Amino acid sequence: MATPASTNLAAALEQKLTDRTARTGVIGLGYVGLPLAVELARAGFTAVGLDLDARKVNLINKGESYIPDVPTHEVAEFSKAGRLSASTDAGVLRTVDTINICVPTPLRKTKDPDLSYVVSAVEMVAAHLRPGHLVILESTTYPGTTDEVVRPILEKGGLVAGRDFYLAFSPERVDPGNPHFTTRNVPKVVGGTTPTCTRLAKALYSASIETVIEVSSTRVAEMVKLLENTFRAVNIGLVNELALMCDRLGLSVWEVVDAAATKPFGFMPFYPGPGLGGHCIPIDPFYLSWKVKEVGFEARFIELAGHVNGAMPHHVVDKVADALNSQSKAIRGSKLLVLGIAYKKDIDDVRESPALDIMAVLEQKGGKVEYHDPYVAHLDSRDWPAAKEMDSVALTDAALAAADCIVIVTNHGTFDYDRIVKHAKLVVDTRNAVKKPAAHVFKLGAPA
């Protein structure tokens, strides 16, 4: 129940949000956190970022961006104006009025949620929590996390959510590399622990984001994000399976999908690929299937899609083997050049990238694997199953000609595909990047 004191706290924070005098804090300065901090600074707030990575912190404080979607000139402008800064010291959390938590939520090898980053961040917040704070979790997670995990940690010190401080969940909806939809113009879903929490979270986001959608609870907001990404994962699983069917039937799945997409209603085109990558789509459906097991429900449809998508890197390797076989070669001993190891085009993020699994399996089968990616100059041994350091090789005509097979895994816009086809002995295209047919080009989901 609201008390006069709690009403005054809420009114004071709401006034700060309205007149842009609130100091905002963002924990985690990656693909989600840095764009959010920049938008808050653009709206007139003072934005303070917190990250354990000193390199990121130093770059921001020097006015430099390390994320392609955030122009350096914007970071420099807001940093110079004193509206954007970063720190590795959690003590800065006591100086801010709002705290957005934007940390990773990966899966363990057993496919159950790893909330260690969230718990660590929330414990830092709890150590500096004061009356009037607004805390918003943005990290994708299962329904119930805010109420069952975050809230108890924050309330250990005696402050109560909805009375002494305000707690909400708002799922991040960032699409790295998308020039049309950014943090500012993608609608923001918000659900609070109480109606006051929701109202205050909406007031924060409304200052910097064009559209804010209120939902009735944190659990609904958490479920919204899982539905969005499960929808994509299931439909990609369907079209990946269709690609394997078309391969057997001697059809091109790319032609089939493009033709079906001409129907103006009842169909949405999804395209096959070498597997799922990134920090959301390969992971989020498993958060949901894990959670519903607690209530005795088996998400068979979701898990089947995960199985289909998870097997795609092996199908790509089979395609490489078939292509090499057409020239009386085997994977073992062949020189293989993988083009693109980021999980999607025109970004530098390799998290969960199917290219890493493809490269690892090719290595296991005795292939001599190299890669070229204009966005990923170095591949750390910790980032992929083969656990070896690699550097991107120069994409020269000689390098293309020297490879026994070129494998296009990520269709970066900077690649000159005509040049690649011209100089390559053999090409396996997993993204339909090569538009002109050629005898030495083999496509995923299409006949040789």
Q: Give the active site residues.
A: 280
Contact 363, 369 (CB under 8 A): yes
- Give the tokens for residue 196: 């006051």
Pairing of β 134-137 and β 46-50: unpaired
Q: How far is it, in rounded angstroms, from Cα 285 to Cα 299? A: 9
Q: How far is it, in rounded angstroms, from Cα 446 to Cα 429? A: 10
Nearest partner of 123 among 105, 139, 108, 101, judged by Cα: 101
Q: For residue 153, with 0-12 CB atoms within 10 Å meaning exposed, 13-18 middle and 19 or more buried, which class applies?
A: middle
Q: Which residues pair with 370 in a beta bridge?
A: 337
Residue 415 backbone dihedrals phi, psi, to 5 degrees: -75, 135
- Give the tokens for residue 415: 């690649």
- Give the tokens for residue 418: 């005509």
Q: 69-90 burial, b if ≥16 CB within 10 A, otherwise e?
A: bbeeebbbbbbeeebbbbbeeb
DSSP state of 161: B
Q: For residue 409, with 0-12 CB atoms within 10 Å meaning exposed, 13-18 middle and 19 or more buried, which class applies?
A: buried
Nearest partner of 50 among 92, 5, 110, judged by Cα: 92
Q: Is the dihedral of CA 299, 300, 301, 303 positive or negative?
A: positive
- Give the tokens for residue 92: 């800065």
State which H helix or E strand residue 136 sits in: strand 134-137
Q: How far is it, in rounded angstroms, from Cα 95 to Cα 309? A: 45
Contact 370, 396 (CB under 8 A): no
**At a CB cut-off of 8 Å and minimum separation 6, what does 36 contact?**
26, 100, 102, 138, 172, 183
Pairing of β 390-391 and β 378-379: antiparallel
